[in-house]
Amino acid sequence: MSKQSRYTGGCLCGEVRYRILGPLRDAVACHCTQCRRMTGHYAAFAACGNERLVIESGARLAWYESSPGVRRGFCAGCGSTLFWDDASRPYIAVAAGSLDAPTGIRLSAHSFTERMGDYYAIADGLPRYPGRMA
């Protein structure tokens, strides 16, 4: 968990802005096929409690249901990846690259490594999970 108590972030074009009240979980790199297709590479997501995410300007915020009960938030204007939301979980994942610096977060693990692309290697020594982390 990060030590900061407030974060801000948004998309590339600035049409979607958000703030997070309270701590963030450190980022996890997801290597699943959906994240790789959505971002063009693997994705890194931090996370916070659902009630801690406040959308400040979201007229261009769009959601795509990528699997039953799971949706991905992005900017309909510039296409920036912003959120991953599983309705069965009490948190929302926030794309680490969409956070304003300084974040104070670090990469902590890799998930879905059994589905990672064949064009790169993981060499950072962090924990690896073949599927979803618990």
Residue 1's pLDDT is 52
Q: Encoding tokens for residue 42?
A: 């693997």
DSSP assignment string, 81-99: EEEEEETTSSEEEEEGGGB
Residue 133's pLDDT is 80
Helix (H) or strand (E) holding 119: none
Residue 39 has pLDDT above 80, yes or no: yes
Q: Alpha carbon of 54 to those of 22, 51, 83, 114: distances in Å?
A: 11, 8, 12, 34
Domain 6-115, CATH among 3.40.50.300, 2.170.150.70, 3.30.70.100, 3.90.110.10: 2.170.150.70
Q: Give residue-wise pLDDT tens across range 71-115.
A: 999 999 999 999 999 999 999 999 999 999 999 999 999 999 999
Domain locations in the chain as residue ranges: 6-115
